[in-house]
Structures are given as structure tokens and as C-alpha cells.
A = this chain, B = another copy of it.
């Protein structure tokens, strides 16, 4: 069974569970011991916060989660550096690929949001940052910043000083890139290389890739979210495609750029979507 990312049908944020076994049976978090459910290739689909990591910091919609490893099993104290492997690497991959992570809090987790008993599902979060730092123990730990994707989630407000020295609030979001199961399949097909320039961006969490919709999703375009409407591009060529600097002919010749689109034999690109992009986005 493929790893399930996103909500479990029928389980809404706020749902409570008596113990880890119940959490497992509901499909929310399959491992009965590990805090992170995930793999280094697919990413992390779920975490459970259940106390123990003195470096965790839970502000509700923003959680700074401490990675695993390096602790003495008896005392629970940090006695070695944490490595970017297993659950830590899975969370880094979720960051890289923009995957949603289910978050559940246990009663032993110290925060204002923890349930009094058992476990409570908090909903979906995304990993928006990960880094390494010296923990309270003096050893390196990995940390992951998780932002809630639930309805309580507000766009981040950034204060910027104005000319008149009045603190004004400015909300800005530049680029949102979506990643779905189909998008992940297409990215893997190309070995994470850009179909235009062949570039593969290497990170410690593996190669970074973006999937671009040829005809955009959502109203009024209603582009389909299937492989025939997807391209695997590096961020630079993705931006330029979305802004119509280049497009693609039916024979996959590039328009506005030299060369030809690399197309994998298993990737059936839909000519109708290419025609849509040429007519509406390409700027000669």
C-alpha cells in the first residue's frame, strides 16, 4: 500500500485516541513506537509529539520539532550528535517536496495544545524549514519548523518599517508550488532533472524538483492534475514557463528558447494542454 499523505478520510482535526494502538488502527500514525512515520525516499507522512525532547517548541500553528537519535536509551539524555538519517531525513524530504505531514499530540507532550489524556490529531502541517544546531545538551540536533495548513492557519504577517515610521503590516506571498502524487511520479521519471536544461538541484535531503502544470489548476482554467498536464522543471524554467517566456510546440520543440523538451517515453504529454499554454501564456 502506498504511504498515505494528507488527511485520513473521516478523521478531522481534534479527533482523540486512547493510545498509540488506536492511532495506528485509524491509519493516522502506523508505527507504534517511532515519533516519525516515513521513509528517506517517500518523506514523512505523520509525526507524534509525545514528550521527551526538551528542545521541542510548540506554539500551536508553528511547531519547532526536534529530530531523533543520539539519545541514551536509559537516561533519555542526548549523548551524541543527531544525523540526517531515518525519520530526520524523511522530514527533510517532506520539506523538499512540500508534502503535508499529519501531526498528533500526546498528553506527555508539554504544550498548551496537548490533550489531558491519550492523543489528539492536530491536522496537517508542512515542513517549511530544517536546520542543525547545538541543543541544550551541547550535541548537534536537527530541527524542523512545521506550519499548520488547517483553517486556523493565517497568512504570515510581516512587519515592515514604512517611510513614515508607522509600523504597517504587509502580507506577501510570491510563489506557491503544489506537489501531488502524480507530480511526484513525473519528477521521479526524469531522475529529478529539468526537462529543459537537464539540471538536477542536489540537496542533503536529495534532489530538489518541481512539477509544473501546463494548464493551471483551479478556476477558471481547470487544468487536470494528471501526468499529461505536468512537466518536470527546475525552479528557473518553471517561473519562466508560468510567465509565458517560453512554450512548447506539438513536436516538443521549445518556443522562445533554443532546443527541444526532453520527454520520457512513459510520459504522454497532452497536446491540448500545450495548445492552451501557447494561446494564453506565451508572449512572443
B-chain residues with CB within 8 Å of residue A124 when the two chains form the complex: 171
Other A-B pairs beyond A6-B171, A7-B169, A98-B173, 16, CB < 8 Å: A4-B168, A6-B170, A62-B219, A98-B174, A99-B172, A126-B173, A132-B281, A133-B279, A143-B220, A149-B171, A173-B178, A174-B178, A176-B176, A199-B236, A205-B243, A236-B236
CA distance A149 to B239 in the complex (A): 21
Tell yes or no: A33 within 8 A of B by CB: no
A residues sitting closer than 8 Å to B (CB atoms) are 1-2, 4-7, 9, 57, 59, 62, 64, 84, 96-100, 124, 126, 128-129, 131-133, 143, 145, 149, 151, 153-156, 158-160, 162-163, 166, 168-182, 199, 201-205, 208, 210, 216-221, 225, 234-236, 238-240, 242-245, 279-281, 283
In the complex, the answer to whether A7 meets B168 with C-beta atoms within 8 Å is yes
The secondary-structure label for the interface of chain A is loop
Interchain CB contact under 8 A, A280 and B244: no
Do A160 and B172 touch (CB < 8 A)? no
Number of copies: 2
Q: What are 19 sample pairs from A and B whose C-beta atoms fall under 8 A apart?
A: A6-B170, A97-B174, A98-B175, A131-B244, A131-B280, A145-B218, A160-B180, A173-B177, A175-B175, A175-B177, A202-B245, A204-B245, A204-B283, A208-B240, A208-B243, A234-B235, A235-B235, A235-B238, A235-B239
